[in-house]
C-alpha cells in the first residue's frame, strides 16, 4: 500500500471514525482504524461491534492495499500534520511509514485479517428525513435515555417509522421525552430501538440544513448514509415500554408560562436544592402565580412566576434537573404544563406545537 493524501482531510476522517473505536475491550484489534487504499480513495473505518463508522477521502493511490493502525495514536499523530501532504506506505513487516516534508515515522500495525469486516447494509427499506429534523429528533429526546444497566432496553431510543412521520421516544423510569417529525419519504413501517451512544455520534455528524439524508434498516441494524461517510449501528432487541399508557390527555390543572422566565427561576431555586443533594423543588400553583421553593441547611429560596391557570390549585414537587433539561431543548416562548395530582406525572408541551411532549414523575414531599 502506498498513498498520498491531504493531512487535513485525513485528520478529519480519523476524528470521525475514532468515535467507533472500542474504549474497553479484551480484543486489541478493536482499538484500530482500518485503512483501505483503492480506486483513488482512502477509506477509514472503525468498529466496536455495536457502532461502525466508515469515511472516504480522495487520495492518490500509488499502490493499493490495506492495514489496521492503532486508532487513537494514529488520530492524535495526524492532528499535528493538518498542513502537510502525507504519504502512507506499508512495508513487508506490516509497518506503516508516515512521510511528511523531510520527516517520517514508522508505526507497527495490527494483522488486517483479524479485523472484523465492515457490515454491509443492502436494503430497500429506508426512510428519508431532513438533516435538521433528524438532529432535532435526537437532541430533544436523547437526554431522557436511561444511563444505568438495570433495564438495558431503556438505554436506547424508540423510533417508530410511519408513512409520513417518525416518532422518537426516550424514557428512564422518571421522565419521558417524545417528539415527532415529518419524513420526506418512507418505504418501511416499523419500530426500532437505537442505542443512545450511536444516536449521539450520528447527531454530531448532522448539520442544520434541509438536505435529505437516508436511513436504511436491515434486520438488527440501521445505516445512516452521509454519502462519503456511513454510520452503522446494531439495534437493541426487546420490547420497549408501552408509553401510551402513562401519557394523560386531560388535566385537572393546566398552566401556561413564559419558558425563559420559568427556566431562570427554576435554575435559581435548584441551586439551593443541590446543596441538600435531593434536587427537590416544590411547585405551588395558586391563582395566576407559580411559587417555586427550595430548602437546605444554609437557607431557602422562593421564586414567583406569573402564569395563566385553568383548573384547580395544586402543590407538587419535582426533581428540578428533569424540568430544566426539558426546558433547555425548547425554543418556544411559552409552554403548557398539565397536572392531575401530587402523585401523577405532569406533561409539558410547547404552546403552539404538538411536535414535542415531555413527561415527569413527581417526588413525594415529606411534611
Question: Same domain for 227 and 254?
Answer: no
In a domain, 332, yes or no: yes
How is residue 48 written as a grid cell? 466496536
**pTM higher than the cut 0.85:** yes
Tell me which residues of the chain have a pLDDT lower than 70: 275-278, 366-367
Question: Same domain for 6 and 32?
Answer: yes
Q: Which of 143, 146, 168 is nearest to 158 (CA)?
A: 168
Q: Quote the pLDDT of residue 25.
A: 79
**Pairing outcome for strands 51-58 and 95-100:** unpaired
Contact 184, 95 (CB under 8 A): no
Question: Same domain for 93 and 192?
Answer: no
Q: How far apart are CA 75 and CA 154, in angstroms?
A: 32
In a domain, 213, yes or no: yes
How is residue 101 written as a grid cell? 516534508
Q: What is the pLDDT of residues 73-126, one digit of tens each?
A: 999 999 999 998 999 999 999 999 999 988 999 999 999 999 998 888 989 999
Instruction: Work out the burial of residue 365: count CB atoms within 10 Å of its CB; fewer than 13 is exposed, 13-18 middle, 19 or more buried.
Output: exposed
Question: Same domain for 318 and 353?
Answer: yes
Domain range for residue 57? 2-114
To 10 degrees, what angle do helices 320-328 and 259-275 make?
A: 150
In a domain, 119, yes or no: no
Question: Same domain for 157 and 205?
Answer: yes
How is residue 166 written as a grid cell? 417518525
| Domain boundary pick from 202, 219, 244 | 244
Question: Same domain for 234 and 316?
Answer: no
Q: Quote the pLDDT of residue 3.
A: 97
In a domain, 141, yes or no: yes
Contact 99, 5 (CB under 8 A): no
Q: Quote the pLDDT of residue 93.
A: 94
Cβ contacts of residue 228 below 8 Å, gap of 6+?
55, 56, 57
Q: How far apart are CA 87 and CA 70, in angstroms?
A: 17
| Domain boundary pick from 72, 91, 114 | 114
Question: Same domain for 102 and 144?
Answer: no
Q: Tell me the torsion sign for CA atoms 246, 249, 253, 254.
A: positive
Q: Quote the pLDDT of residue 276.
A: 59
Q: Quote the pLDDT of residue 277.
A: 61
Question: Same domain for 133 and 240?
Answer: yes
Q: Quote the pLDDT of residue 320.
A: 92
Q: Quote the pLDDT of residue 118.
A: 84
Question: Same domain for 216 and 323?
Answer: no
In a domain, 366, yes or no: no
In a domain, 365, yes or no: no
Q: How far apart are the first and last CA of the chain?
A: 73
| Domain boundary pick from 91, 114, 137 | 114
Q: Quote the pLDDT of residue 365.
A: 78
Q: Quote the pLDDT of residue 279.
A: 78
Q: Quote the pLDDT of residue 367.
A: 58
Q: Quote the pLDDT of residue 298.
A: 81
Here the CATH number for the domain that contains residue 58 is 3.10.150.10
Question: Same domain for 231 and 275?
Answer: no
Q: Quote the pLDDT of residue 295.
A: 84
Question: Same domain for 164 and 103?
Answer: no
Domain count, the chain: 3
Question: Same domain for 149 and 237?
Answer: yes
Is 205 strand, coil or helix?
helix
Is 189 strand, coil or helix?
coil
Amino acid at each position: 500500500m502506498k498513498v498520498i493524501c491531504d493531512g487535513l482531510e485525513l485528520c478529519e476522517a480519523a476524528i470521525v471514525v475514532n468515535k467507533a473505536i472500542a474504549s474497553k475491550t479484551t480484543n486489541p484489534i478493536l482499538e484500530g482504524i482500518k485503512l483501505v487504499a483503492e480506486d483513488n480513495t482512502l477509506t477509514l473505518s472503525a468498529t466496536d461491534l455495536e457502532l461502525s463508522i466508515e469515511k472516504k477521502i480522495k487520495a492518490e493511490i500509488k499502490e493499493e492495499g490495506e492495514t489496521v493502525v492503532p486508532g487513537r495514536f494514529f488520530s492524535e499523530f495526524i492532528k499535528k500534520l493538518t498542513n502537510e501532504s502525507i504519504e502512507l506506505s506499508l512495508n513487508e513487516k506490516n509497518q506503516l511509514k508516515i512521510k511528511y516534508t523531510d520527516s517520517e515515522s514508522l508505526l507497527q500495525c495490527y494483522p488486517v485479517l483479524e479485523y472484523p469486516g465492515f457490515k454491509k447494509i443492502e436494503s430497500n427499506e429506508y426512510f428519508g428525513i431532513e438533516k435538521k429534523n433528524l438532529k432535532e429528533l435526537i437532541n430533544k429526546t436523547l437526554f431522557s435515555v436511561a444511563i444505568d444497566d438495570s433495564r438495558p432496553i431503556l438505554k436506547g431510543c424508540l423510533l417508530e417509522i410511519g408513512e409520513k412521520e417518525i416518532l422518537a421516544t426516550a424514557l428512564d423510569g422518571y421522565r419521558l421525552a417524545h417528539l415527532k417529525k415529518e419524513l420526506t419519504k418512507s418505504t418501511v413501517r416499523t419500530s426500532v430501538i437505537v442505542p443512545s451512544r450511536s444516536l449521539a455520534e450520528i447527531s454530531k455528524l448532522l448539520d442544520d440544513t434541509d438536505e435529505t439524508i437516508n436511513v436504511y434498516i436491515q434486520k438488527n441494524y440501521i445505516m445512516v448514509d452521509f454519502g462519503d461517510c456511513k454510520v452503522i449501528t446494531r439495534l437493541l432487541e426487546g420490547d420497549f415500554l408501552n408509553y401510551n399508557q402513562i401519557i394523560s390527555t386531560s388535566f385537572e390543572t393546566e398552566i401556561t408560562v413564559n419558558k425563559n422566565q420559568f427556566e431562570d427561576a427554576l435554575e435559581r431555586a435548584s441551586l439551593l436544592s443541590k446543596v441538600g443533594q435531593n434536587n427537590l423543588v416544590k411547585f405551588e400553583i395558586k391563582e395566576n402565580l407559580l411559587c417555586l421553593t427550595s430548602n437546605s441547611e444554609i437557607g431557602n429560596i422562593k421564586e414567583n412566576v406569573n402564569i395563566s391557570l385553568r383548573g384547580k390549585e395544586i402543590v407538587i414537587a419535582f426533581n428540578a434537573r428533569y424540568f430544566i433539561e426539558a426546558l433547555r431543548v425548547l425554543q418556544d416562548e411559552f409552554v403548557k404544563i398539565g397536572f392531575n395530582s401530587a402523585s401523577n406525572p405532569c406533561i409539558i408541551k410547547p404552546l403552539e406545537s404538538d411536535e414535542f411532549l415531555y413527561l415527569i414523575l413527581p417526588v413525594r414531599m415529606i411534611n
